[in-house]
Amino acid sequence: MPSLPENVSLSVTHSTQPMVTTGPMTDRSAPGREAENGRGALRAPGRVSFRPTGLPVSLSAFPAETITNRNFRSFDLDRWDRYFLPPTLLSLTDRPAEALVAAVEDDNRSAIAVDPVATLDGLPFFLSVKGVGSTVDPFSLRRLDSRYAAELTDDADTRDRLLRPGGDLLGGIVTGELWLRGSPYGGQGLPHASTALRVSERADLTSIEGFRIAPVVKIAFFPKEVEARLLSIHWYRRYRDRLVQELRLVPSNVRVYFHSRSTVGQDPTRVFDLFSVDSAVKAYRFELNFIRSGIALLTLFARTLSRDPGRDRFVGLDFQDVWLDKDAVVAPDGTVFFVDLEGIDEVRVDREEVREKLEDQIYRSLYEFMFAYEQIEGERARRFGSPGSRKRRFESLVVEALRSDRFARPQVGPNGLALTVRNRLEEESLSLEFPLVDL
């Protein structure tokens, strides 16, 4: 079977943001084929210094009905009209696979291809499929495989299929157990996927006013017969909505602290090695990108603030049950990209509550941001030497990182460093002064 996506990648550079590179991530001198979309080029990927690592899993690709992110409809992405099954679930379809993708497990229900498929702002991006199954029983530490799944279904045909030879291969199980209200365990539900797509469509491909995201490019639907078999696998409560997969573009599978084998918080030495951060200059740029994108995440509500028509209320994006430490990844250049977008949605507040919401959103993720920064700075100092005062260095990095940020403006004074958080409406009365460093 041919490999997906047939050695072709999507290459795009925003016109509204500078290209930031910290090293030879790709060979951009490779010849390319222009696509008639006005936004970028389809070209063979060049050399990359980073590839995702983890437990290998092969994904078989099958034709699927899809919903495409409107920002990507000008690109020829018909080859991505696919849904994907791990080896553990191949017996649930009678169709032959059209392609095979080499991937590694990512988080608890996703897999990420090991070869890049896109270049956005000079960074290689990889295809990530959310909803390909989990390998762990949610109610114990028992391995969740095909034989165990056969015990959980009341459908005789599904049970017989799961017991066929080959079900003990590496891979997870998508179930019909209702989990997190909008999703089945091991899979992804249409309500959550639709939220993630809605957030993705607000972006300039990967940026919402500086807040960087890993965009959902397509939502893929399972065929009804495969969906019915998967939904029959459950412990107690059955999921009742459509079962789908998110096809996302991600720059890495390195999370901030949880849900990946390599994280900034737990093993910064390995992260520096994975991303080839092998000089003081690269480390400096890595820190700048981390701070720039991290501050944008802390100030998302301000960056998306708008008026609620007809009322003296205000609307902006906020985080629900998602967190910086487990639901964001770090790119090889240090930029933080939020990946699990299903937990981001609009909230409405009264005028007198706007500043409180701005402050609450900063505090919500500030510790996780600062903890990760401390690990990065500690590894940089260990490798390349310490310049002196911890506070002064952080202060200088913040000032440089936010030099062009129109929403977060650093203010250095005799008492330390403060952040002036401006808003998209440019209303001074809704701005916030937030202390970052006390001297």
The mean of the pLDDT values for the chain is 89
Average pLDDT of span 384-409 = 94
CA distance 112 to 126: 7
Which of 201, 209, 205, 200 lies closest to 426, judged by CA? 209
Phi–psi pair at 134, nearest 5 degrees = -110, 155
CA distance 85 to 93: 9
Residue 278 structure tokens: 């092998």
pLDDT of residue 26: 30
Identity at 96, one-letter amino acid code: P
Which of 165, 229, 217 lies closest to 193, judged by CA? 217
Contact partners, residue 309, CB within 8 Å, separation at least 6: none
pLDDT band per the 50, 70, 90 thresholds, residue 406: very high
pLDDT of residue 46: 65
Neighbours of 236 (CB within 10 A): 7
Place of tokens 């114990």: 140
Average pLDDT of span 181-197 = 95
Q: What is the largest CA-CA distance in the chain?
A: 74
Q: What angle do CA 179, 180, 184 make, to 5 degrees?
A: 35
pLDDT of residue 310: 75
Residue 365 has pLDDT above 80, yes or no: yes
Residue 47 has pLDDT above 80, yes or no: no
Which of 123, 129, 106 lies closest to 45, judged by CA? 123
Residue 381 has pLDDT above 80, yes or no: yes
Average pLDDT of span 222-233 = 98
CA distance 19 to 192: 32
| Lowest-confidence pick of 224-233, 259-268, 285-294, 430-439 | 259-268
Place of tokens 């006390």: 438
Q: What is the dihedral of CA 340, 341, 342, 344, to 10 degrees?
A: 130
pLDDT of residue 260: 66
Half-sphere CA count of 125, side-chain side, radius 13 A: 27
Pairing of strands 243-250, 216-221: antiparallel
DSSP 178-226: EETTTEETTSEEHHHHHHHHHHHHTSSSSEETTEEB--EEEEEEPPHHH
Place of tokens 């602290």: 257
Strand partners, 188: 244
Identity at 281, one-letter amino acid code: V
Decide: helix, strand or coil at residue 113. Answer: strand
pLDDT of residue 10: 61
pLDDT in tens, 70-119: 999 998 899 999 999 999 999 999 999 999 999 999 888 999 999 999 99
Place of tokens 């034709």: 63
The sign one gets for the Cα dihedral 214, 258, 252, 330 is: positive
Which of 44, 36, 31, 192 lies closest to 110, judged by CA? 192
Check if the beta carbon of residue 238 is closer than 8 Å to that of residue 176. Answer: yes
Residue 245 structure tokens: 């997969």
Segment (H or E) for 345: strand 344-350
Domain ranges of the chain: 9-250, 268-385
Q: What is the dihedral of CA 179, 194, 129, 187, to 10 degrees?
A: 20
Residue 120 structure tokens: 């956005």
pLDDT of residue 388: 82
pLDDT in tens, 322-364: 999 999 999 999 999 999 999 999 999 999 999 999 999 999 9
Contact partners, residue 1, CB within 8 Å, separation at least 6: 60, 97, 98, 99, 100
